[in-house]
Structure 1
Amino acid sequence: MELLILILSIMAAVLVSSFLSRFIPRISTPLVQIALGLVIALLPMFPPLRLDPELFMVLFIAPLLYYEAHTINKAELAKTLKLSLSLAIGLAAFTMLMVGVLLHAVWPMYPLAAALALGAALGPTDAVAVSSIGQDADLSSGQRSILSGESLFNDATGVIGFQFAILAAVTGAFSPTSAISSFVIAFVGGIAFGAVMGFTSNWIFETARRLGWESMTTRILMELFLPFLIYLVAENWLDVSGVLAVVTTGLLARFDHTGLGPNTSKTNIVSTSVWKVLSFSLNGAVFVILGMLLPGALVATWSDKKVSNLTLLATIALVACTVIIVRFVWVTGVLFFATNPETGKHVPMNARRLRSAAVMTLGGPKGTITLSLALTTPYLLASGDPFPMRNELIFVAAGVIIVTLLLANFGLPLLAPAKNEGPETSKVEKSIEVLRRTVRELSAHTDECNRLAVQHVITLYNQRIARLKTQIGLYNPREPQALQLQTLQWEQTYMENKLEEIQEEGKQQEEPTDSSSESSEAGAATDEELAYSQDSREKAAEQILEHITNSLAHLDEGSEVKWHIHIAMRRAQGLIRHLIHRLRHVTPKVSENEVFLASRDLQAELNHHVVEQLYAELGKGRFKTEDLLTTIINHQLIESSAEGKTEFGEASEMRDSVEEVKREGYATELSVIQDMVEAGEISRSWARDLRRNVYVMQVDNDSVL
């Protein structure tokens, strides 16, 4: 029960830290978690914390390394692989050597093997810890990729170096030949076993999916079980590096990137969410445990008369300065000898590159892996004696972690202040282009049966485009206004031609014929009915044209006088024609009902003509696709209303039709993304993010159904 309460308290602290970080964004989440761990440790209800080192390695390191390797951007990693490996292997080993030798030389009370173990533990960096710090700092994509790759690979270097140093400290014996052979076997064997497990796991998961055996529950449970299984088999049965095996498997695993469809999408989304929660929980738990261990280590150090408090603080300062200086010198040297990847020429050092070296130095704080390795320091030697300076080593490691986290938290924003530019403009523009092409594909498959459903879905896509344009400040109110002006001009031209056509028909009806004056009453009635119909249509056309010209006058204020003159001329022409007609005949009475009916018919014809003009504009580039389709939808709705076709059958039929078009739209969107990837218009990493968004909407659509 005490263990259960402890676990729940740690999880509660992790949960509270996620809320507190919102109110203190300038303080990184790991620092908040360490503080909460200190608070828990000071409560009298909790006994001193003591964890089994092997259990700690399996429980925390294995899943964290697998998830970090599986989610890293492989394309960016390949571009910066040389620099990442230089930092991960060369810098980690050099840090181990410098810290160990210097610490043992200054304070011989630290055995050389134990000091080297501390140096190995301080080699790995924690890119997860700096992710929240990076919100207040402007790190380039290359810098972030280098830090992530370094954190991934130097974990393995640090773990292997730490294990050999601890083995030498525990047994008191060290053979260079045996160490090198063991290192090669552990290194190569771990990679080989991880590669085999990576390909095997891909085959198992894909085969299960193809045979229909995969379900959400089995897939996620198998994936969660995978890193623990690989680590335990590699370490306990094969005697190879479990860390490298887990990392290699994570890099090669691709079963969650194959297969399409709502079920697979839903499983991928849930799996990603589960891993994010697990990763945050494990990382948070490690830092909470760090805070809980600090009081115990501090009390043990204060009570130990062999080491004074001042000496301990000096040790932390020495080791932290050594780690920081060694890292800065190494990064500066790498940048000094670096060449331009495009030209192959040497790039001279300048103030900007020195600043980049400082950013890379502070951007690699120590964190999860360092603390995990320090906590795995055994309590006893092979002889049964207590491990020398164990509490002091853990405390020094914790102190360096806090120092590097503080420097990253407050130093990075000074060296690389955040620009607060919001989302990357180029990526958002590519997203908008994907949506535009999808909308064009959907509009090309419109027919009378699905027209209203397609209009509804296109409206949703246009809303997404508008939101994206607003994010990067691309929304220009003049663009839809220009299209509206062009549409009104089309309407004006059409109605002018229509009015002239109606007037010509009226003139032909008024011309004298060769028929005798003794026409029958039925014939006169027919002529009068035709006159009324012609007058109603003419008056309706004049009203529509007047409305259009008034709208144009409001949009184009510079042409307001011209439109008023145009309207006056039209009215004068109508008055003259009306007087001539009255001289020849009795002034006919124009029925308002007939005018309304004629207006409705003319409006339907007008909208049909404008829709054809709008469709002809698609693909020409004069107007935005979303603006054109929005205008088309509005005119089609007016046309349907004029024709009395506003209903779309039963509500259930309408809903089913909309959901069907949505599914078609999502499939089209995925196809457009793939086409843009193959054409080199977007990167595969960005395409993966775009697909993930589509998967989310697919799952949401299926949940509605």
Structure 2
Amino acid sequence: MAVFELILCIIAAVVVSSFASRFIPRVSTPLVQIALGVLVAYLPFFPDAQLNPELFMVLFIAPLLYLEAHEIDKSALLKTLKLSLSLAIGLAIATMVAVGFILHAVWPVISLASALALGAALGPTDAVAVSSLGKEASLSQRQRGVLKGESLFNDASGIVGFQFALAAAFTGKFAVGQAAGEFAVSFFGGTLFGLIVAAIANWVFETVRSLGWETTTTRILMELFLPFLLYLGAEEFHVSGILAVVAAGLFIRFDRTGVGPNVARTNIVSTSVWGVLSFSLNGAVFILLGMQLPRAMTASWSDPYINNTLLIGIILLVTAVVIVLRFIWVAGMLRLARDVNTGKRRKMTLERWRSAAVMTFGGPKGTITLSLMFTIPYSIAGGADFPMRDELIFIASGVIIVTLLLANFLLPLLAPNRGKDPSAEMIPITVEVLRNTVEELTGRITPENRRAVLMVIDLYTKRIARLQQRIGDVDPQGLERLQIEALHWEKEFVRDRLAQIKATPAADAATQELNEEACERMLDQIMNTLRHTASDPTSGHAVSQIRGRARMLQRRARNYAKRTISKIRRTTPLVSEDQIFARTRELQVEAIHHVIDRLVDEMGNDTYNTEHCSALLLDYRRAEASLQARPNVSGTAAMITQVEEVKRESYGIELGVIQDMLEAGDINRAQARTLRRNIYVMQVDADSGI
């Protein structure tokens, strides 16, 4: 029960970290999670339980490595394969040897086998931690590809080396020849086992799909089961479970085959489930790291036989060894690499030295290192306590924190965003988001919603065409500011019209209610859009949002109250939804005419760019023509309700695509905020186009 409570508390801490990291974007999420782990370790209600080391390896490493191998860009991996393998295998072995012998020489109380195990655990890097850093650094696609490829392969090499070094520390015996033979069997056997299982899994999943037996539930459960089956099955055959998981992850392809809405829907759900699982497992590991720090620190600090100053010095020494060795290795590889065009080796320029530094600090230690250290047994073969276990974990934890801090604060200095206008890059990114949204909407067409979905897809297609026409715009932000200003003109027009309606009531109650309801609904829509398009997330803006929402809720409550009273007094309401919809469209046309007149006036002034006024004027004329071309027939309200539901679904898809691109490192947080804001800006065009 204590372990179950521990898991629940860890998940709660991961949820808190997902919120906390949004308020401190310049600090990486792993650092936030480590700090939360330290905090919760001192909470009295937090259970004090320990996870079994073998369970920890299966529970965390197997699914994380499978997902990392499966999601990696295969073409980018092939382009940087040589450099990635050099770092993943050569540098990992060099780090293991250097850390092992230097640590044992400086602190002989740690055996050579234990020191080598620590060095092997410090070989793997954590590219996930880099992608979640403050988003202020600008890494090239090649640098990102090398780091991701390295983190994939050095996980396997580091884990295999760690397991053999740990076995020597556990038994006290280390036979080089026997270890080399076992390493070869484990390496190639694990790879072969993974490829065989991957081939079988591809055949099973594709057969089930072709027979029509696949459902979302069964597919996701089978896919989640696969990495655990791979790891445990390989261990039963005494080969590397880690390499089996990596090999299978690279060659699994059943989720990229098949067409149709059901397949698309299943793939979307599967991606969402894996995204949640990946964040949860990574977060849980760093929460556990923070929880482990006080325990390891207290045990070491209170031990009279351990010099605390020496312990901190060891952390700094090991960190220096890891960083210096990595910098030398990367610089050497850059010097030896031949130019793709000339075939000659290039000299190390200042820019190439900077690139070497970026690659050095861009490889912090993280999830795999900590997971490996947690698998150190509590006792050795003779039954005695494993010597210096807490200290080894503490050293590894210290190196992780130092490398994360260096990556968090030095990478933005080494690879800063050069002050480029981010809006110049937003149009191609926005087009990509819209295309992905259209693809997902296409997969969700059913006979019942076909007309509504096609109408929304047509709107997205027009948005893409308009954006592509604006690629040459020298100031995309200027057009966005004009769009927002046009919204304010619409708001002022509708607000004045509502005040005029209330000041001079209509002759009959039905007309009065119809006019007020149409104005209130359109005003709420415009105000909601303006709140989401605000670009400055300051405290004053937050207060304004709260006040605006309060006024909107107040207006809606007043309107609902009036309509309820009307229904109580009469058997039928004064006006129907179709009438309200038709009147709202008439009001939209009037508001569009008002904005068009303002835009025509502005074209003669110097306040806004003439090209921007012309482009927005064309958009509003198209919206006007679209509204006036649709007759007010019975059943229009029902159709517009269905279209609105599809549009809300499409906005959710857009937000999901943006979040996926952010987590994949394709965009930064500032670009994500702009894309989210654009959803609401472009929503105005979509609303008026139906």
TM over 0.5, yes or no?
Answer: yes
User: Aligned partners of 1:351, 1:414: CA distance in 2, in Å?
Assistant: 15
User: 2:19: which partner in 1?
Assistant: 19
The answer as to whether partners of 1:455 and 1:633 remain within 8 angstroms in 2 is: no
User: Aligned partners of 1:359, 1:398: CA distance in 2, in Å?
Assistant: 22
CA deviations over 1:108-143 (Å, ceiling 9, x no partner):
111000000000000000011111116121111111
Matches within 5 A, 1:56-205: 56-133=56-133, 135-205=135-205
Distance 1:328 1:635, change over 3 A: same
Q: Tell me the secondary structure at the aligned position of residue 386 of structure 1.
A: coil
User: 2:556: which partner in 1?
Assistant: none
Question: Share of identical aligned residues, percent?
Answer: 56
Q: Tell me the secondary structure at the aligned position of residue 385 of structure 2.
A: coil
User: Aligned partners of 2:600, 2:406: CA distance in 1, in Å?
Assistant: 63
The answer as to whether partners of 2:3 and 2:51 remain within 8 angstroms in 1 is: no
Q: Count the aligned residue pairs.
A: 521
User: Aligned partners of 1:278, 1:22: CA distance in 2, in Å?
Assistant: 19
Matched, 1:407 2:392: no
Q: Tell me the secondary structure at the aligned position of residue 203 of structure 2.
A: helix
CA deviations over 1:146-191 (Å, ceiling 9, x no partner):
1111111000011000001011111111112111111111111111
User: 2:458: which partner in 1?
Assistant: 458
**Ranges in structure 1 where 5+ consecutive residues have no aligned partner:** 443-449, 481-549, 559-623, 666-684, 687-692, 698-705
The answer as to whether partners of 1:462 and 1:626 remain within 8 angstroms in 2 is: no
Matched, 1:362 2:361: yes
User: Aligned partners of 1:422, 1:201: CA distance in 2, in Å?
Assistant: 47
User: Aligned partners of 1:473, 1:201: CA distance in 2, in Å?
Assistant: 51
User: Aligned partners of 2:158, 2:88: CA distance in 1, in Å?
Assistant: 9
Matches within 5 A, 1:467-546: 473-474=475-476
CA deviations over 1:75-118 (Å, ceiling 9, x no partner):
11111111100000000000000000111111211100000000
User: 1:543: which partner in 2?
Assistant: none
The answer as to whether partners of 2:202 and 2:254 remain within 8 angstroms in 1 is: yes
Matches within 5 A, 1:213-252: 213-235=213-235, 237-252=236-251
Distance 1:37 1:653, change over 3 A: closer
User: 1:3: which partner in 2?
Assistant: 3
User: Aligned partners of 2:404, 2:353: CA distance in 1, in Å?
Assistant: 21
What amino acid sits opposite 2:18 in the alignment? S
User: Aligned partners of 2:293, 2:603: CA distance in 1, in Å?
Assistant: 73
What amino acid sits opposite 2:368 in the alignment? I
The answer as to whether partners of 1:466 and 1:475 remain within 8 angstroms in 2 is: no
Matches within 5 A, 1:286-325: 286-325=285-324
User: Aligned partners of 2:431, 2:617: CA distance in 1, in Å?
Assistant: 13
The answer as to whether partners of 2:234 and 2:244 remain within 8 angstroms in 1 is: yes
The Cα of 1:302 is off from its aligned counterpart by: 2.0
User: Aligned partners of 1:48, 1:658: CA distance in 2, in Å?
Assistant: 53
CA deviations over 1:601-633 (Å, ceiling 9, x no partner):
xxxxxxxxxxxxxxxxxxxxxxx9999998678
The answer as to whether partners of 2:5 and 2:47 remain within 8 angstroms in 1 is: no
What amino acid sits opposite 1:398 in the alignment? S
Matched, 1:37 2:71: no
Distance 1:26 1:200, change over 3 A: same
CA deviations over 1:39-62 (Å, ceiling 9, x no partner):
111223445442211111000000
CA deviations over 1:339-388 (Å, ceiling 9, x no partner):
11233221210111011111111100000000011111111111222211
The answer as to whether partners of 2:335 and 2:348 remain within 8 angstroms in 1 is: yes
User: 1:535: which partner in 2?
Assistant: none
User: Aligned partners of 2:474, 2:202: CA distance in 1, in Å?
Assistant: 39
Matches within 5 A, 1:559-570: none
User: Aligned partners of 1:295, 1:147: CA distance in 2, in Å?
Assistant: 31
Distance 1:280 1:637, change over 3 A: closer
Q: Tell me the secondary structure at the aligned position of residue 136 of structure 1.
A: coil
**Ranges in structure 2 where 5+ consecutive residues have no aligned partner:** 443-449, 483-596, 606-613, 651-665, 668-674, 680-690
- CA RMSD, aligned part only? 4.0
User: Aligned partners of 2:600, 2:163: CA distance in 1, in Å?
Assistant: 83
The answer as to whether partners of 1:459 and 1:630 remain within 8 angstroms in 2 is: no
The answer as to whether partners of 1:124 and 1:151 remain within 8 angstroms in 2 is: yes
User: 2:386: which partner in 1?
Assistant: 387
Distance 1:473 1:9, change over 3 A: farther
The answer as to whether partners of 2:27 and 2:134 remain within 8 angstroms in 1 is: no
CA deviations over 1:490-529 (Å, ceiling 9, x no partner):
xxxxxxxxxxxxxxxxxxxxxxxxxxxxxxxxxxxxxxxx
The answer as to whether partners of 1:452 and 1:648 remain within 8 angstroms in 2 is: no
The answer as to whether partners of 1:49 and 1:292 remain within 8 angstroms in 2 is: no
User: Aligned partners of 2:477, 2:164: CA distance in 1, in Å?
Assistant: 60
Matches within 5 A, 1:340-379: 340-379=339-378
Q: Tell me the secondary structure at the aligned position of residue 416 of structure 2.
A: coil
Distance 1:435 1:225, change over 3 A: closer
The Cα of 1:426 is off from its aligned counterpart by: 7.2
User: Aligned partners of 1:272, 1:422: CA distance in 2, in Å?
Assistant: 32
User: 1:207: which partner in 2?
Assistant: 207
User: Aligned partners of 2:40, 2:118: CA distance in 1, in Å?
Assistant: 26
The answer as to whether partners of 1:13 and 1:36 remain within 8 angstroms in 2 is: yes
Normalised to the residue count of structure 2, the TM-score between the two structures is 0.68
The answer as to whether partners of 1:462 and 1:630 remain within 8 angstroms in 2 is: no
Q: Tell me the secondary structure at the aligned position of residue 133 of structure 1.
A: coil
The Cα of 1:477 is off from its aligned counterpart by: 6.9
What amino acid sits opposite 2:35 in the alignment? A
User: Aligned partners of 1:421, 1:198: CA distance in 2, in Å?
Assistant: 44
The Cα of 1:325 is off from its aligned counterpart by: 0.6
Q: Tell me the secondary structure at the aligned position of residue 132 of structure 2.
A: helix
